[in-house]
Amino acid sequence: IKGKRDKIRFVPVHATAQRLIDEYLTLAGHREAAAGPLFRPVKNNVTGDLDRQLNPNSVYRNIVQKYGLQTGVSVQVNGLCVHSLRATAATNALSHEADIAKVQEWLGHANVSTTRLYDRRKTRPEDSPTFRVRY
């Protein structure tokens, strides 16, 4: 993965994700262009150039909003953005007992305190100490 400031890091790919990426590469016709971005636009009305990375705003509009609406998720939720998907993934990993240092590395954070900001378990009502009290 190429991160901020073109920093390269290596992360394992889940078998299901690998299968879906392979299908995508075949369907999108990108299999032979391994040096280019993995996810690219399917159309570009401005320059016509498709050999570039997806724009985060396009990802939000064309993927998050589109499928959110189809599944009944309100896309007008304050704070819902492409970046919030990273926080969801981090929280999910931590909820399933992933080590925070591993999640930090996975997300490419230099400091574990940044990773802690992504952990949304503390804001979930069902995890409140209120429900741990026995009467």
For residue 92, the number of C-alpha atoms closer than 13 Å in the C-beta half-sphere is 8
- Residue 114 pLDDT: 94
pLDDT, greater one: 55 or 130: 130
Question: What are all long-range contacts of 106-115, with beta carbons under 8 Å and residues at least 24 apart?
Answer: 106/11, 108/1, 108/3, 108/4, 108/7, 108/9, 115/90
Could you tell me the pLDDT band of residue 1, with boundaries at 50, 70 and 90? confident
- Secondary-structure percent of the chain, ordered helix, strand, coil, rounded to 5: 55, 0, 45
What percentage of the chain has pLDDT greater than the value 70? Answer: 98
pLDDT, greater one: 21 or 128: 21
Sorted by sequence, the CB contacts under 8 Å of residue 51 that are 6+ apart come out as 33, 36, 37, 40
Reported as a single tens digit per residue, the pLDDT across 77-107 is 777 777 888 899 999 999 999 999 999 999 9
**Overall pTM surpassing 0.75 (yes/no):** no
Q: Would you say residue 49 has pLDDT above 80? A: no
Euclidean distance between CA atoms 3 and 109, whole angstroms: 10
Could you tell me the pLDDT band of residue 45, with boundaries at 50, 70 and 90? low
- DSSP letter at 84? H
Give the phi and the psi of residue 7 in degrees, each rounded to 5: -70, 130
- Evaluate whether 42 touches 28 at the Cβ level (below 8 Å): yes
- Residue 48 pLDDT: 72
